[in-house]
């Protein structure tokens, strides 16, 4: 009897707790539709103070949420493109409240048309010339700045570069609208020396890796367009390092009658000696590279004002490279077959480049028209001479990791010799005259550019070189215990 009373009391307590819990909640249900009564499926119904209890309406626009009874809730009803409605509702314990919500369409903004007027620029990249002085490089040329552009350098000693897989001679270089040239006989970066553009004299640089304007010519890869600075104040700067020195000077005259400077001069001198860098190459020997360069850019305004102006750009460069090789040692192969090639040299190589350049430009600028007549002459004399005799030994190296002679030559695999001879001479002269103009037509707001160019080239190229190879397969002694061994 006592056990039955306990069970009855436990069931009564459980029912009391459950009924008490049910008495603490209420329900809110209804529909959400538009102003014309159409249901809005996916509309949001969210209690602001209890967002976790929110929901979205079903395909008929119906909703039903459960909330704590006796507590006022701010219910937010919303749908994309309609104004949000809010109602303050207090659920009743154990009861259901029904609300039909009608949302008003949002205010539509008036459409408007926007017109943009602009000019499509050419695909060029502007490069800051001041960065050149902060780039550590054995070249010391303006081409060092192209590391910011999509180009590849085959050698850190050469100013030649490749763009999009093209050849080094497919790149155009212009200085003040005048095409400049690289040496023709160069076969190694250490022979090349200084390139034409002087970084200290540059005002602006633009680079295009394709899609450039037709006025730059028909080379396939790229255009490097450089403009030298027209000075505004007198100044001199000097730079020196272990690889050379350079001086740059700006000179300006007194102002003319209407505030123009009648004469300006931008000059630079460069000297470079890369023997310190070349001494670290695999081929040991005596390197004597000497590169000098003198340039000047002058402007002259004949009467201090008016439409006429003259410019002169001159350059003289002398690159001398002398190399007396002594030895070269190169290790090749793997741990299974390690070999060493040792070459002993006799002879020398002498390379000399002499380059001269001059250009005169006459400009006439009016309010709507610009004329520019450029006459230029380029001359180069290049010579390459060498007689190099080499005797080489191919040795097998000690591979035993426990040996004291690990990495030393243990067995000679063969010997041989070669002789390289060259007497190459190239002389080139390029003379050109170009007339360029541009016109701005005010009534039609159009801009026209045009030009005509005449150019004559005379190149004399005399190549005389040969190589004699005494193959190791013919003069190597026979291995021991083999036929013919003595």
Residue 42 burial (CB count, 10 A) = 12
User: In angstroms, rounded to a whole number, what is the distance separating the alpha carbons of residues 182 and 160?
Assistant: 9
**Structural domain containing residue 301:** 230-475
Of 114-118, 206-210, 440-444, 475-479, where does mean pLDDT reach its minimum? 475-479
Asked if the structure places residue 214 within a domain, the reply is no
Asked if the structure places residue 82 within a domain, the reply is yes
pLDDT digits (tens, 9 = 90+) for 161-179: 767 766 667 778 888 888 8
Are 258 and 393 in the same domain? yes
Q: With bands split at pLDDT 50, 70 and 90, how would you rate the model's confidence at 107?
A: low
- 3-state SS class at 277: helix
**Neighbour-count burial for 413-451, b at 16+ CB within 10 Å, e otherwise:** eebbbeebebebebbbebebebebeeeeeeeeeeeeeee
Secondary structure letter of residue 188 according to DSSP: S
Q: Which of 103, 131, 163 is the last residue of a domain?
A: 103
pLDDT reported for residue 430: 93
Asked if the structure places residue 317 within a domain, the reply is yes
Q: What is the pTM of this model?
A: 0.63
Q: What is the CA radius of gyration of the chain?
A: 42
User: In angstroms, rounded to a whole number, what is the distance separating the alpha carbons of residues 133 and 239?
Assistant: 9
User: In angstroms, rounded to a whole number, what is the distance separating the alpha carbons of residues 244 and 257?
Assistant: 43
Helix, strand, coil tally for the chain in percent (to 5): 10, 55, 35
Taken in order 442, 447, 449, 450, is the CA torsion positive or negative? negative
Q: Are 163 and 209 in contact (CB under 8 A)?
A: yes
pLDDT digits (tens, 9 = 90+) for 281-322: 767 788 888 889 999 999 988 765 567 888 999 999 998 888
pLDDT digits (tens, 9 = 90+) for 33-48: 988 888 989 899 988 8
Asked if the structure places residue 167 within a domain, the reply is no
pLDDT reported for residue 17: 40
Are 268 and 413 in the same domain? yes
Q: Which of 103, 118, 145 is the last residue of a domain?
A: 103
Asked if the structure places residue 333 within a domain, the reply is yes
Q: Which of 53, 74, 103 is the last residue of a domain?
A: 103
Please tell me the total count of domains within the chain: 2
Give whole-number Cα distances, 99 to 63, 65, 83, 164, 402, in Å. 10, 12, 17, 70, 93
Asked if the structure places residue 310 within a domain, the reply is yes
Asked if the structure places residue 252 within a domain, the reply is yes
Q: With bands split at pLDDT 50, 70 and 90, how would you rate the model's confidence at 16?
A: very low
pLDDT digits (tens, 9 = 90+) for 414-447: 788 889 999 999 999 999 999 988 887 777 777 7
User: Which of 350, 342, 346 is closest to 393 using CA atoms?
Assistant: 342
User: Domain with 97 in it: what CATH number?
Assistant: 2.60.40.1120
Asked if the structure places residue 220 within a domain, the reply is no
């Amino acid at each position: 009897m006592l056990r039955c009373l306990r069970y009855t009391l436990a069931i009564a307590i459980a029912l009391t707790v459950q009924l008490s819990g049910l008495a603490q909640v209420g329900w809110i249900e209804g529909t959400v539709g538009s102003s014309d009564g159409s249901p809005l499926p996916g509309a949001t119904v969210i209690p602001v103070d209890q967002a976790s209890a929110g929901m979205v309406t079903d395909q008929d626009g119906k909703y039903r949420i459960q909330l704590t009874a006796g507590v006022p809730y701010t219910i937010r009803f919303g749908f994309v493109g309609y104004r949000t409605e809010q109602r303050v509702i207090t659920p009743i314990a154990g009861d259901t409240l029904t609300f039909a919500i009608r949302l008003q369409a949002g205010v539509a903004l008036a459409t408007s048309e926007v017109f943009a007027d602009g000019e499509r620029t050419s695909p060029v990249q502007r490069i800051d010339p001041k960065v050149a002085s902060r780039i550590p490089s054995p070249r010391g040329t303006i081409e060092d700045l192209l590391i910011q552009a999509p180009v590849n350098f085959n050698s850190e000693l050469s100013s030649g570069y490749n763009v999009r897989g093209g050849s080094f001679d497919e790149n155009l270089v212009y200085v003040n609208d005048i095409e400049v040239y690289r040496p023709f006989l160069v076969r190694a970066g250490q022979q090349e020396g200084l390139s034409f553009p002087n970084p200290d004299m540059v005002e602006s640089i633009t680079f295009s890796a394709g899609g450039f304007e037709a006025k730059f010519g028909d080379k396939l890869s790229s255009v490097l367009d450089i403009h030298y600075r027209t000075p505004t104040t007198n100044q001199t700067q000097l730079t020196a390092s272990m690889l050379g020195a350079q001086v740059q000077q700006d000179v300006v005259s007194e102002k003319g009658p209407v505030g123009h400077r009648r004469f300006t001069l931008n000059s630079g001198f460069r000297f470079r000696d890369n023997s310190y860098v070349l001494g670290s190459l695999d081929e040991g020997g005596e390197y004597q590279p000497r590169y000098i360069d003198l340039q000047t850019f002058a402007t002259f305004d004949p009467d201090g004002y008016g439409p006429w102006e003259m410019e002169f750009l001159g350059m003289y460069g002398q690159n001398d490279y002398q190399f007396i090789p002594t030895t070269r040692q190169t290790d090749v192969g793997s741990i299974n077959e390690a070999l060493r090639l040792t070459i002993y040299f006799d002879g020398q190589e002498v390379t000399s480049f002499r380059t001269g350049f001059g250009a005169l430009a006459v400009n006439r600028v009016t309010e709507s028209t610009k004329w520019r007549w450029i006459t230029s002459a380029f001359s180069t004399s290049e010579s390459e001479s060498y007689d190099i005799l080499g005797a080489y030994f191919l040795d097998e190296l000690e591979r035993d990791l426990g040996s004291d002679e690990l990495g030393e030559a243990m067995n000679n695999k063969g010997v041989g010799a070669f002789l390289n001879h060259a007497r190459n001479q190239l002389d080139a002269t390029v003379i050109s005259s170009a007339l360029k103009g541009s016109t701005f037509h005010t009534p039609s707001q159009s801009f026209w550019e045009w030009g005509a160019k005449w150019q004559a080239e005379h190149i004399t190229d005399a190549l005389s070189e040969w190589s004699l190879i005494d193959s190791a397969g013919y003069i190597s002694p026979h291995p021991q215990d083999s036929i013919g061994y003595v």
